[in-house]
Structure 1
Amino acid sequence: MAVHFKYHPAMVAGVDNPQTLSIYFVDDQLLVKPELLADPSQHMPWSYETLSPEPKLALLLGELNDSPCRVVQLESAPDGWQAVALRDYLLRAPEPAFKVINAAAQLRYWLSTQNFCSRCGHNLEFNDSDRALACAKCGYLSYPKVSPCIITVVRKGREILLGQPVRIHTEMYSCLAGFIEAGESAEDGLKREVLEESGIHVHNIQYQFSQAWPFPHQLMLGYLAEYKSGDLLFDPAELRDARWFDIDELPTIPPRQTISRKLIDASIQIIRQEHS
């Protein structure tokens, strides 16, 4: 199913009409129809239906297949709709929907935290000239927050290093990741994060690709790296487990639309080429 999405160039209210698509949230959960949960690949999580004439929040996100598309925050889920955890949906979503819901969720969260100007304390308002909220009193512009993070797969021979974050309670293993500190390059941040979380020193760091991740406003910068030295000793404050896995004996790993899986697949391809 083709999806063509374009951001609206300003930060304005999302006005409802019969030609407007809406993406609905209750708190930080996505509202969907039951049929979408049965088969996310065949149904998209936006609708022309009006679920509330007075939503808690409504923002014009952009154009979706030539229709206006807005992000809408509701107080509760109406009959016939179901609230699902955003992460649960994104891990099953087809890639076109993944990108749109990613953007909608990040802006919804950001708007929920941006009530007042951080410079003078005055109310922030929608702004029809830029993608930012504006303070009418001092002129300050508040832009959507983006937090850069590194995410990486470390290779050692035929093995890759994967871990289980303490905050994610599944059997899935994924890449090591972490936030970049102020004044730090992405590469230095990667070396620091891998060392802090696993005790491993890395080198030959190679950038691959990026992906937004709305928990709550991360921009994941994906890298591959090679083992340099050190013994694996993971930080239990960050990881429930971390192991070296042979590429032919991998545990449960993330789905294909995630940057984690793309990095894992890229590492496997390199290892197979090197050991063919």
Structure 2
Amino acid sequence: MRIISWNINSLRLRLPLLKELIQLADPDIICLQETKVPDPLFPRDDIIALGYPYIAYKGMKSYNGVCIISKHPIKQSNLTRNWCNQADCRHLAIEFEFAGQTTILHNFYVPAGGDEPDPDINPKFLHKLNFLNEVTEWFKANLAHNSILVGDLNIAPLEHDVWSHKQLLKVVSHTPIETINLTQWLETGFIDAMRKITPPDAKLYTWWSYRNKDWEKSNRGRRLDHLWITPTLTPYLQTVKVFKEVRNWEKPSDHVPILLELNENPSI
């Protein structure tokens, strides 16, 4: 089972890149964030033509939006929620069968939080902290036995998830309050699959700013995108991959796709 997560930064704009990614990676399920398309305009026919007839989506005009497309049958879960009393299309949950069991897949797009890491003067940052607190409390009580959580969580929690730990401690996405809150969410019952494969002392990024034209040379990246699994799925964990080369494609997203591969027949 190959699951990709990608902040595509406009689905309709980057449909050609999605097609290229499918040819490159051949995933079973793709979770997209920042689709930026209202539901009536979702390009369902185009997605089906790419070989993904099973589709779930929540979208809005110009902002946010999440979708999950699959080669295999999926069922939209009643665990899909709106957070912080806002219908801003940041979460979608589906069910699928894996290794003879029902597995829940959560696709998240966490608020970015603006530029100023002070909730007293920046309502976007306050929203982000409230969002993290609410999802953490919810998962404490509602985490399913077999669960996967993926998405753009807009936080790089570890020292080597950013190009400079010291310089980014006061920059939104790597401040202590954010990293602590994300860790608390992870510890509701998940394992960080990316760091299960790649040691925590190795640099690992999934996002490079548009502001830096020579992004690859400077390599000032952050790991804002995540793949989490419950311990029940750890025996099936095969590999994780970051498709860094996609950042060099024409008109790319500032995020790159990340792959979680689970093997239904693990050697235990």
Interval of TM-score (by shorter of Structure 1 and Structure 2): under 0.3
Structure of higher CA gyration radius:
1
